[in-house]
Copies of this chain bind each other. A is one copy, B any other.
Amino acid sequence: MLIIGAGFGGLAAVRALRRAPVEVVLLDRRNFHLFQPLLYQVATGGLSPGEIAYPIRSVLRRQKNAQVLLAEASRIDLERQEVHLTQVPGEAAASALTYDFLILAPGATHSYFGHPQWAQLAPGLKDLEDALEIRSRILLAFEHAERETNLEKRSALLTFAIVGAGPTGVELAGAIADIARRVLREDFRSIDPRETVIVLLEGGDRVLPAFPPRLSAKAAAALAGMGVDVRTGARVTNITPEGVEVGGTFIAARTALWAAGVAASPLAQSLGVPLDATGRVPVKTDLSLAQHTNVFIIGDLARLDQLPGLAPVALQQGRAAAANIVRTLAGKPRRSFHYLDKGNLATIGRASAVADIRGLQLSGLLAWLVWIFVHILYLIGFRNRLLVSMEWAWDYLSPQQAARLITGRPRL
């Protein structure tokens, strides 16, 4: 039994199989599980990478029927039931693994809607390296502004354009506003970080389109209150190193961030089955493939009903796929997957969020407390829960953030 991807879905599937009479091999190209919902906090200096990432081997240390393999799947051969791996330096040849059951949970990547050249100019937020790159760009913009004497250039350095006002875009905008107005307030001598301009660009007609309109309005008002310039109906037509073009208008912004589109993992293309427009694989209600019922697709790669690409969906699908495998092995019929929607949360800034919990619509501090509670609850491992609570408590009490490091090889 092979599971590809140790995100929320893949890891949930492995854990759900801990008492099943199977040997599970979990494949991931990274050695850690990433708590993606908090990735924006790494990108904005609130948390360190180690606080939202947890070694997969540690999570599964005591699960003796699970083996972890650090490897990248390059291609899947459904007919021969084989997964081909990317060759490792020093290996004689690329190897392959065979499977009886396969759970595919490789996640998603960015989509620049046919403009791949924008990727360098406006990085998206999917993995830890993205987060550290974005953190460096944000902090370097302030550093360069401190050195810049030309006022026009300085103001472009202090302008941040965020493309896309889904949860990630809203979270990034709120966090950058917080850095500029609170965290960095006393840090500079030539510039005043409070002069920072944050432009949040949304192609649709409101922010957080997955939420009820009332909460979108609350979120937009909260963002405006933090000084974020929210522009809806604003479709980006070009991105250059100097800024972002929206229709006929050019916004001079030396830092642009991408939070607009996702595309399913390119691994799906090797399956040879029809994909939808964003590269997802349509699955049956039991989460398996129509022609290959021993192959399950879960999480961001699966297309089923109108389910969104959220952690709880992946998590529940991982458990459901595992349960269907166990039933199949026991000669029992499979069950259809039904998503239990516990609610939808998005944080806006310090002490502000929106929550839509089965029709109950919350906003402001109360929604933020719900958000804090849920995220700490779901963070894998008591140790990380403790560290993150401390960081947040500290951050709430003090304006300093220690995770504010510009790393990567020095680039000035």
Contact = CB atoms under 8 A, between A and B. Distances in A.
Which residue among A50, A88, A390, A406 has the maximum number of chain B CB atoms within 10 Å of its CB? A50
Contacts of A386: 390
Interface in A397-412: 398, 400-410, 412
B188 A410 contact: no
A70 interface: yes
Nearest to A411: B89
A324 interface: no
A30 B406 contact: yes
B70 A405 contact: no
Interface in A228-244: none
Contact of A57 (B61, B129, B153, B188): B188
Interface stretch (A143-151, A207-215, A259-267, A283-291): A143-151
Interface string A139-161: 11001101100000100000000
A384 interface: yes
Given A387-B387, A407-B129, A88 B147 contact: yes
A55 B146 contact: no
A153 B91 CA distance: 10
B187 A405 contact: no
Nearest to A47: B50
A49 B410 contact: no
Nearest to A149: B95
Interface string A23-49: 000000111100000000000000011
B69 A147 contact: yes
A51 B48 contact: yes
A30 to B, nearest CB: 7
Interface in A114-133: 128-129, 132
Given A405-B31, A407-B129, A86 B412 contact: yes
A258 interface: no
Number of this chain's copies in the assembly equals 2
B186 A405 contact: no
B143 A70 contact: yes
Given A90-B144, A410-B29, A58 B405 contact: no
A72 interface: yes
Nearest to A66: B189
Given A58-B187, A405-B55, A31 B86 contact: no
Contacts of A186: 61-62
B384 A402 contact: yes
A383 interface: yes
A303 interface: no
A402 B70 contact: no
A125 to B, nearest CB: 15
Nearest to A409: B129
A38 to B, nearest CB: 14
A386 to B, nearest CB: 8
A255 B365 CA distance: 51
Nearest to A143: B70
A34 B129 CA distance: 21
B49 A405 contact: yes
Contact of A412 (B72, B147, B384): B72
19 contacts: A29-B410, A31-B406, A32-B404, A49-B405, A50-B402, A50-B403, A53-B405, A54-B402, A57-B187, A57-B188, A61-B187, A88-B144, A128-B405, A128-B407, A129-B407, A132-B407, A384-B402, A387-B390, A390-B390
Give 4 closest A-B pairs by Cβ, nearest first: A48-B50, A57-B187, A70-B143, A67-B189
Given A70-B140, A70-B146, 5 more contacts: A29-B410, A49-B407, A58-B400, A383-B398, A390-B390
